[in-house]
């Protein structure tokens, strides 16, 4: 059995030292542990005696299922007993019962420390959840801005391509052919750069852990448009 002070150890630096147990209390705990060991040994002996090497596979599966059920029941019974042994003195200490022993009264400071630690843990958990939600929101906004930058870059490429076409429209002869070839190479290079930027933004969205599937804007960042060349 584990004492209450041992369970609360490590929660804070001001934990009260372990309370001493009386001789009778130590004997009760020793007998309880011995009883659990005997119950386990008896169960093992019964299982060995009932074992049959010629048992068909179907019976083995049934026995395994029964063993799991027995183990669950054993664990449940032990947990109930452990909780009763721990809760009973706590209730006596809290309600200041007349029949409370000195050690039951002395655990009141430990109970208060445990409750304070539980409250602090719950508060920290709530603050952590809030911080994670805020972080997710910031990441989502950053990804949306990234997608907007990609869209602006795409628009600039289209405008540059249109400007090239207008410029070429005013040229004739070999000069126009050279300019067209140069323009095609620049457009091809620009589109490759745009695809790299698009792929990078998509990887950032997917790797961030944000639920991009439910967000139309983020979904457009990850998935390629159907009309994209």
Per-domain residue ranges for the chain? 20-106, 131-222
Question: How far is residue 182's CA from residue 165's CA, in Å, rounded to a whole number?
Answer: 12
CB atoms within 10 A of CB 149: 12
Is residue 6 over pLDDT 50? no
Question: How far is residue 39's CA from residue 44's CA, in Å, rounded to a whole number?
Answer: 9
Mean pLDDT on 72-91: 80
Question: Rounded to two decimals, what is the model's pTM?
Answer: 0.36
**What's the length of the chain?**
229
Give the residue, 181 or 45, on which the prediction is more confident. Answer: 45
pLDDT digits over 114-159, tens only?
A: 889 989 999 999 999 888 888 877 777 777 777 777 777 777 777 7
Is residue 215 over pLDDT 60? yes
- Given a contact cutoff of 8 angstroms between Cβ atoms, the answer to whether 12 and 109 are in contact is no
pLDDT category, 19, cuts 50, 70, 90? low
pLDDT category, 199, cuts 50, 70, 90? confident
Question: How far is residue 92's CA from residue 97's CA, in Å, rounded to a whole number?
Answer: 5
Mean pLDDT on 77-98: 76
Question: How far is residue 112's CA from residue 120's CA, in Å, rounded to a whole number?
Answer: 12
Looking at residue 15, its pLDDT comes to 46
Buried b / exposed e over 51-62, threshold 16 CB at 10 Å, is: eeeeeeeeeeee
Question: How far is residue 184's CA from residue 182's CA, in Å, rounded to a whole number?
Answer: 5
Looking at residue 124, its pLDDT comes to 93
What percent of the chain lies above the pLDDT cut of 90? 4
Mean pLDDT on 91-97: 71
Please, what is the end-to-end C-alpha distance for the chain in angstroms?
Answer: 70
SS3 130: helix
């Amino acid at each position: 059995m584990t004492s209450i002070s041992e369970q609360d150890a490590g929660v804070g630096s001001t934990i009260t030292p372990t309370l001493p147990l009386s001789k009778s209390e130590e004997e009760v705990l020793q007998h309880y542990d011995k009883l659990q060991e005997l119950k386990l040994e008896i169960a093992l002996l019964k299982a060995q005696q009932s074992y049959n090497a010629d048992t068909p596979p179907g019976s083995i599966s049934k026995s395994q299922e029964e063993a799991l059920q027995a183990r669950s029941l054993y664990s449940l019974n032990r947990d109930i007993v452990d909780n009763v042994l721990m809760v009973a003195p706590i209730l006596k200490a809290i309600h200041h019962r007349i029949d409370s022993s000195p050690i039951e009264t002395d655990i009141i400071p430990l109970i208060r420390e445990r409750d304070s630690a539980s409250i602090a843990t719950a508060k920290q958990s709530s603050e952590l959840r809030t911080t994670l939600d805020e972080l997710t929101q910031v990441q989502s906004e950053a990804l949306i801005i990234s997608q907007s930058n990609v869209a602006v870059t795409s628009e600039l490429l289209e405008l540059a391509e249109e400007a090239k076409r207008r410029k070429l429209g005013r040229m004739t002869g070999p000069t126009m052919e050279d300019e067209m070839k140069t323009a095609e190479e620049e457009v091809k290079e620009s589109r490759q750069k745009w695809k790299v930027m698009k792929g990078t933004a998509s990887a950032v969205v997917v790797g961030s852990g944000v639920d991009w599937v439910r967000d139309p804007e983020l979904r457009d960042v990850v998935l390629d448009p159907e009309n994209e060349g």
